Amino acid sequence: MGHGGGGALSAELMEQVFAPAYGNPTLAALADSAVLELGGTRLAFSTDGYVVRPLFFPGGSLGDLAVNGTVNDLAMSGARPAYLSAAFVLEEGVQLSVVERIARAMGTAAEAAGVVVATGDTKVVESGHGDGVYVTTAGVGLVPAGVDIRPQRARPGDAVIVSGPIGLHGVAIMSVREGLEFGVEIASDTAPLADLVAAMLAVTPDIHVLRDPTRGGLGASLNEIARASGTGVRLRERAIPVPDAVANACGFLGLDPLYVANEGRLVAFVPPSAADEVLAAMRAHPQGAGATLIGECVAEHPGMVVVSTGLGGTRVLDLPLGEQLPRIC
């Protein structure tokens, strides 16, 4: 299970199994989506499988995730997403009304994100061989001229900006999956981010890195960027927007909110000269209203993320091994 958690074990699987098997420079870039030259245009191309329990949760559903997740993976290359495919794996016995609800949610999410679900596939597996419904989406989008966004482009001095409060999606899922109640309802942050990215690119095409911190959370994403670029990242703990409800839930379970999944947030590495303007443009956009400067890219400690704590100490923020596990007391 740890190999699907978005942490060090996921990275190992990619580096040791998949990359050697398919080996090519595009895949080796290990970005959220691949950028391909085709017929004189630059296409971003991405695919992702969506497996979530329960299928419906506060703030969204499997259908929303399946659209927004792929839209966001494309947007993290700076692309304008255009077309999606959708492949369903249904478990024998699943209610047709459940599939309908998911499909409708996908339709609504696609409309909101400005993409078209242009092709698809359906397979059925025997009862007991699935969690009801799995959805895989793939997508393509156009990358505007002059835009080159990838983890390797992080530079010392870059401002590190997160687009809003973190941890809401992961805690929302935990609250319904495990039957935990945290006093207030916590809704997932799932949302399409391509429009926000377009607003940022309107300020400057020279955004260096974008990443949506999904599985493994902000901690995993920042570690991946630090390793890919060979730079360090320094964060200010008190600047990181962690909602009270997320902090409380994580405190109760012994989890670190920096490793909790998000589905409607991005982290951006922006040249310092453009940071204020990009931040202002993000805050003017509904998906970036809570955008915050949380740290910077540094030349020291290459490949490593370091957090300055509220008290003035420092600690390493490492790549998590796999899924976080709730503690005993």
Partner 1 sequence: MKYIDEFNDPELARRLLDDIRATVTRPWALMEVCGGQTHSIVRHGIDQLLPEQVELIHGPGCPVCVTPLDVIDKALEIASRPGVIFCSFGDMLRVPGTDRDLFRVKGEGGDVRVVYSPLDALELARRNPDREVVFFAIGFETTAPANAMAVHQARRLGLTNFSLLVSHVRVPPAVEAIMTAPECRVQAFLAAGHVCSVMGMAEYPALAERFRVPLVVTGFEPLDILEGIRRAVRQLERGEHRVENAYARAVREDGNPAAVSMIEEVFEVTDRNWRGIGPIPLSGWRLAEAFRAYDAECRFDVTDIRTEEPAECRAGEVLQGLIKPIECAAFGTTCTPRSPLGATMVSSEGACAAYYLYRRMNDPAAKAMGAAREEMNPVA
Which positions lie near partner 1, rule CB under 8 A? 1-2, 8-9, 178, 180, 232, 234, 242, 244, 247-248, 251, 253-254, 298, 300-304, 306, 308-316, 318, 321, 324-329
Between 38 and 311, CB nearer to partner 1: 311
Task: State in angstroms the smallest separation of the CB of 236 from partner 1.
Answer: 9
Q: Tokens at residue 20, please?
A: 């050697």
Task: State in angstroms the smallest separation of the CB of 311 from partner 1.
Answer: 5
Q: Is 120 exposed, middle or buried (0-12, 13-18, 19+ CB in 10 A)?
A: middle
Task: State in angstroms the smallest separation of the CB of 80 from partner 1.
Answer: 38
Between 37 and 178, CB nearer to partner 1: 178
Task: State in angstroms the smallest separation of the CB of 293 from partner 1.
Answer: 16
Task: State in angstroms the smallest separation of the CB of 234 from partner 1.
Answer: 7
Between 63 and 243, CB nearer to partner 1: 243
Three-state DSSP at 276 gives: helix
Q: Describe the chain by its helix, strand, coil percentages, rounded to 5.
A: 35, 25, 40
Quote the CA–CA distance of 281 and 211 in Å, as a whole number. 18
Q: Is the peptide bond before 213 cis (omega within 30 degrees of 0)?
A: no
Between 101 and 236, CB nearer to partner 1: 236
Cα 327 to chain center, whole Å?
Answer: 25
Quote the CA–CA distance of 97 and 120 in Å, as a whole number. 19
Between 247 and 284, CB nearer to partner 1: 247
3-state SS string for 204-230? CCCCCEEECCCCCHHHHHHHHHHHHHC
Instruction: Give the largest Cα separation in the chain, rounded.
Output: 58
Between 2 and 120, CB nearer to partner 1: 2
Task: State in angstroms the smallest separation of the CB of 147 from partner 1.
Answer: 32
